Amino acid sequence: MQKIKVHLVKPRKQKTVIYEGVILVQEPGHLLVQARWERAAMDLGYVVFTPGDHFFEHYYTERWYNIFEVRSAAGDLKGWYCNITRPAIFGDEVLTSEDLELDLFVAPDRRHLLRLDLEEFEALALQVTEPEAYKAALQALHELEEMARRGMSPFDKD
């Protein structure tokens, strides 16, 4: 299995989160990367990430989002954390994903969908500076919600 570095670029916060992952699947337009949560526990109010959690991260080079399937160290599904992003870029063993602030959390039952960080997304002012990116981001959010409600891959696991 190929080890890579994942760079989650957060321009608004002027920071890049860098961590290591392993490519499980590499196919045209899609990479599935496995990573582990190695930081301190983080309680987001609707899910808690704890050390040892497994993240199965779906990145797409032609879609405006990524999807993280989050499982406990014991394998229990905690839900899916979805980031609205620019299409991922992969090369030289580095995967880069630029976050557009807008997120979606899908509970394991797929009935509870939580839109997150709408204000931060609007503060980017993409509707003025990059109207096509703004439209693509909102379209990506709707696509993710529909995929989750219908139990489409990767939202088809328990």
The DSSP line for 16-28 is EEEEEEEEEEEET
**SS3 of residue 13 by DSSP:** helix
For 102-154, write each residue's pLDDT tens digit: 999 999 999 999 999 999 999 999 999 999 999 999 999 999 999 999 999 99
CA nearest neighbour of 85 among 108, 45, 56, 57: 57
pLDDT score recorded for residue 149: 96
Cα–Cα distance measured from residue 99 to residue 10, given in angstroms and rounded to the nearest whole number: 5
For 128-139, write each residue's pLDDT tens digit: 999 999 999 999
pLDDT score recorded for residue 12: 78
pLDDT at 158 over 80: no
For 6-43, write each residue's pLDDT tens digit: 999 998 778 999 999 999 999 999 999 999 999 999 99
